[in-house]
Amino acid sequence: MATFGHSNLKVVPLEYTGSQFDLYNKISRDFEYTFLFESLTGPEELAETSIIGFDPSIIVKGFADKIVLHYKNGSTITIQTTDPLSEIKKLLYQVPDQKYRYVGGAVGVINYDAIRLWEKIPNSHKKNESPLMEFGIYTDGILYDNIERKSFYFYYDKNRVEKLSYTDVAFGTFTLSNISENLDRNRFDDMVMRAKKYIHDGDIFQVVLSRKFNFTAEGDFLKVYKILRQINPSPYLYHMKLGSKIIIGSSPEMLLRITGSTVETFPIAGTRPITHDEERNEILREEMLHDEKELAEHTMLVDLGRNDIGRVCKYGSVHVKELMAVKRFSHVQHMVTHVVG
């Protein structure tokens, strides 16, 4: 496990009986940078812990040619580099293997445009001065063990748990302006038809088409997250506050996990609902496992996953540990494969 700070990690029980979301609602109001990663439902191997981070010691912003370190005292340091992730890694120290995968470190986001740091692909967009990546370096935090159903506080140099606010906070209002999109239905349909032709001609085998929706949102974004976790509980729920930016989401899928020298990915494709009738659920399960379209899509994603991690793993080490297993989530059952290298 890589993390910032010294290796004298301390993990102590946290006597808190409420939910991690309730605790986060109380804590996050006091800080500009916070995050909540919740695992509410799903297979045990994908829903191990929930994590709260707050008030990182350093904010790191990465660009194509530099990283900028922002310290809590207001000072900044700029480091020129064309490999921002490698420079960020230099801020992280090794600690002995722990029971939990996360005990502090760099938590943040990487922009899709950062792909050009590693892949030579054309850039059709106008020059953007926004960071390609932004991370907080967190040196303490709160863990909730979903198996043991216990909360813990971990820290390195400074124990800040007594300074946290546990005062109940009411949710505010939330409003949206009129929603607009950058493509009308006819233009989007035209994109779909052209994409199908490219696939038929063999130029491509997969493409993700999308439209951009614009609106102005005001109010309490944590209220939106509260509703999201109620209607779509999943193994990967997240609320991240990065200064003036807030990112929320819910996903059943873990894209990538690295533990020591082991790389894992869990492709998901193939979906059927979960009903109140177990016999019906079993029928739907078997139907999914014999659906040619679902099997073809899933096989393609497995091949892509094997190829992707094969680019960085030892030759011959990539293998499928579990193929097309049916896993249950909050409302649906998915076909899931476990690829390891």
- Residue 263 is predicted with a pLDDT of 94
| Residue 130: pLDDT over 90 | no
Q: What is the mean pLDDT of residues 118-138?
A: 84
Phi, psi values for residue 227, rounded to 5° = -70, -40
Q: How far is CA 333 from the centre of its chain?
A: 21
d(CA 50, CA 102): 10
- Say which amino acid occupies 276: H
Helices (H), the chain: 20-28, 84-89, 185-201, 221-231, 278-289, 292-310
* Domain edges within the chain: 2-160+217-251, 180-214, 257-340
Q: Average of pLDDT values for 159-172?
A: 83
Mean pLDDT over the full length of the chain: 89
pLDDT attached to residue 46 = 66
Residue with the two structure tokens 């003036």: 244
pLDDT attached to residue 280: 95
- Please tell me the pTM assigned to this model: 0.85
How far out from the chain centre does Cα 152 lie? 22
Query: Which is higher by pLDDT, 169 or 141?
Result: 141
How far apart are alpha carbons 188 and 190 in whole angstroms? 5
Q: Is the pLDDT confidence value at 81 over 90?
A: yes
In terms of Cα–Cα distance, which of 295, 269, 266, 303 is closest to 44? Answer: 266
Report the 3 state secondary structure along 16-63: CCCCHHHHHHHHHCCCCEEEEEECCCCCHHHCCEEEEEECCCEEEEEC
Residue 334 CB neighbour total at 10 angstroms: 23
Nearest to 252 by CA among 144, 338, 332: 332
Structure confidence by residue, pLDDT tens digits, 174-221? 888 888 888 888 999 999 999 999 999 999 878 889 888 898 888 899
pLDDT digits (tens, 9 = 90+) for 274-291: 999 999 999 999 999 999
pLDDT at 123: 75
> How sure is the predictor about 5, in pLDDT bands with cuts at 50, 70 and 90?
very low
**Band of residue 100 on the pLDDT scale cut at 50, 70, 90:** confident
State the sign of the Cα–Cα–Cα–Cα dihedral 285, 291, 297, 303: positive
CATH architecture assigned to 2-160+217-251: 4-Layer Sandwich (3.60)
pLDDT, tens digit (0-9, with 9 covering 90-100), for 25-65? 998 988 999 999 998 877 666 667 899 999 999 999 999 99
254-268 confidence digits (pLDDT tens): 889 888 889 999 999
Taking residues 289-303, report their average pLDDT.
Answer: 94
Distances (CA, A) of 228 to 54, 104, 222, 225, 231: 21, 26, 10, 5, 5
Bigger pLDDT: 4 vs 134: 134
Alpha-carbon span 42 to 274, nearest angstrom: 13
Cβ contacts of 148 within 8 Å, gap of 6 or more: none
Indicate the burial class of 180 (C-beta count within 10 angstroms; 0-12, 13-18, 19 or more).
exposed
Percent of the chain's residues with pLDDT above 90: 56
> CA-CA distance, 107 to 137, in Å (whole number)?
7
pLDDT at residue 6 tops 70: no
